[in-house]
């Protein structure tokens, strides 16, 4: 092809050329296809020999050309297949002295990923020195790595959510813990929607632990948590805030009626005996309640409300236990519900 090389007897077979340039295209002086590399043959289909270049390719650069030799004057060729998936190519052209034709060497450029996908190409379809396949592997590896990173981030996010939920949950009962109660109280104090707080304390619990053992005590705590969940409204927060202390936070409450209904349901449930290994665990619940402010008041804190609920709670204990007492805004204490304990 080069004058000096020909004088030295330089020759190159079509198969050798295809091995070095698997996407070469040989056009004669009339623009007909006389030969092509194995990869380009795969893309063009079986009936390509002898067809005009423009029957198979759409030449985008240069847009205007008169004969094939004018292709060699373009620094960079741009073209695509006329038929779907319209694969794009870039390339260069050099003249062939033997027949006035040209030799084009094509590549996919940035479209290599789409070409590999659309035509099912593998590394054997590229020259051994072509870096495209290595870059493709790197791109695929990057995609895979980013996918794993995304999955890991999702897992970490899920683990973080689980850890945060666990940090707000009592391990034994599954209720909220003191931290959950404190966070909810801060929100309710700023919501200006009104709320109620019921502080509950388990009576005779120490006697259960001392006589039946700590396993029986844990069983009682789980059963009490089930009773409180069943008695509270769906959106109410039920929390275990101490060994045998519980709190129910009731959002949107502005008077005693909803508190009384919940208290009576709790006492009704408490009439059913709690059994452990056939032994009756004799416990009772004393309750003290308070209604929170309906407007934001910086002078009232969560500690203030807990203190008022505690006053009402101990009034319930003093009055005989197994009852609910409300601490009113006036400071008065009013019994809302009670049950008689067996002798």
pLDDT tier at 5, thresholds 50, 70, 90:
very low
**CA–CA gap between residue 328 and residue 315 (Å, rounded):** 13
Q: pLDDT tens-digit profile of 210-237?
A: 999 999 999 999 999 999 999 999 889 9
Say if residues 237 and 249 touch (Cβ distance below 8 Å): yes
Max mean pLDDT range (27-41, 99-113, 138-152, 320-334) = 320-334
| pLDDT at residue 294 in the model | 80
| pLDDT at residue 132 in the model | 66
Q: What is the C-alpha radius of gyration for the chain, rounded to an integer number of angstroms?
A: 42
User: In a 3-state reduction of DSSP, which class is residue 119?
Assistant: helix
- CB-count burial class (<10 Å; 0-12, 13-18, 19+) for 121: buried
Q: Which residue's structure tokens are 């039920």? A: 238
For the chain, give the mean pLDDT: 85
Relative to beta strand 284-291, strand 323-327 is: parallel
Which one is catalytic: 4, 244, 268, 310?
244
Q: Which residue's structure tokens are 């695509």? A: 80
DSSP string for 89-149? EEEEEEE-TTTS-EEEEEE-GGGHHHHHHHHT--GGGS-TT-SHHHHHHHHHHHHHHHHHH
| pLDDT at residue 291 in the model | 94
Catalytic annotation present for 244 = yes
| pLDDT at residue 111 in the model | 77
| pLDDT at residue 159 in the model | 67
Q: Work out the end-to-end distance of the chain between its first and last CA atoms, rounded to an integer number of angstroms.
A: 116
The crossing angle, in degrees rounded to 10, of helices 178-191 and 302-318 is 110
Number of neighbouring beta carbons within 10 Å of residue 145: 10
Structure tokens that stand for 159 in this block: 């683990």
**CA–CA gap between residue 119 and residue 329 (Å, rounded):** 80
Between residues 246 and 193, the one the model is more confident about: 246
Say if residues 19 and 26 touch (Cβ distance below 8 Å): no
Q: H or E element: which one contains 92?
A: strand 88-95
The pTM of the full predicted model, rounded to 2 decimals, is 0.56
């Amino acid at each position: 092809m080069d004058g000096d090389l020909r004088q030295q007897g330089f020759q190159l077979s079509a198969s050798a050329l295809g091995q070095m340039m698997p996407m070469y295209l040989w056009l004669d002086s009339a623009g007909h296809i006389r030969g092509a590399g194995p990869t380009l043959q795969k893309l063009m289909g079986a009936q390509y020999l002898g067809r005009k270049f423009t029957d198979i390719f759409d030449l985008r650069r240069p847009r205007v050309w008169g004969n094939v030799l004018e292709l060699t004057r373009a620094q960079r060729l741009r073209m695509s297949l006329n038929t779907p998936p319209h694969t794009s190519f870039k390339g260069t052209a050099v003249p062939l002295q033997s027949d006035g034709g040209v030799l084009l060497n094509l590549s996919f450029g940035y479209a290599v990923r789409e070409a590999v996908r659309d035509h099912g190409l593998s590394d054997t379809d590229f020259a051994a020195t072509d870096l495209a396949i290595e870059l493709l592997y790197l791109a695929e590896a990057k995609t895979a790595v980013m996918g794993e990173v995304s999955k890991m981030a999702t897992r970490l996010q899920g683990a973080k959510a689980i850890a945060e939920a666990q940090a707000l949950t009592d391990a034994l009962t599954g209720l909220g813990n003191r931290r959950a109660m404190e966070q909810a109280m801060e929100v309710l104090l700023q919501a200006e929607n009104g709320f109620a707080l019921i502080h509950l304390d388990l009576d005779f619990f120490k006697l259960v632990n001392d006589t039946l053992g700590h396993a029986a005590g844990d069983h009682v705590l789980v059963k009490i948590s089930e009773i409180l969940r069943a008695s509270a409204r769906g959106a109410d927060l039920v929390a275990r805030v101490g060994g045998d202390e519980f709190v129910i936070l009731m959002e949107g409450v502005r008077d005693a009626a909803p508190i009384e209904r919940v208290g009576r349901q709790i006492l009704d449930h408490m009439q059913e005996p709690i059994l452990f290994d056939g032994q009756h665990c004799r416990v009772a619940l004393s309750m003290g309640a308070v209604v929170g402010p309906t407007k934001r008041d910086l002078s009232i804190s969560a500690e203030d409300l807990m203190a008022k609920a505690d006053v009402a709670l101990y009034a319930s204990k003093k009055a005989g236990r197994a009852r609910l007492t409300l601490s009113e805004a006036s400071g008065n204490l009013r019994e809302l519900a009670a049950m008689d304990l067996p002798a």
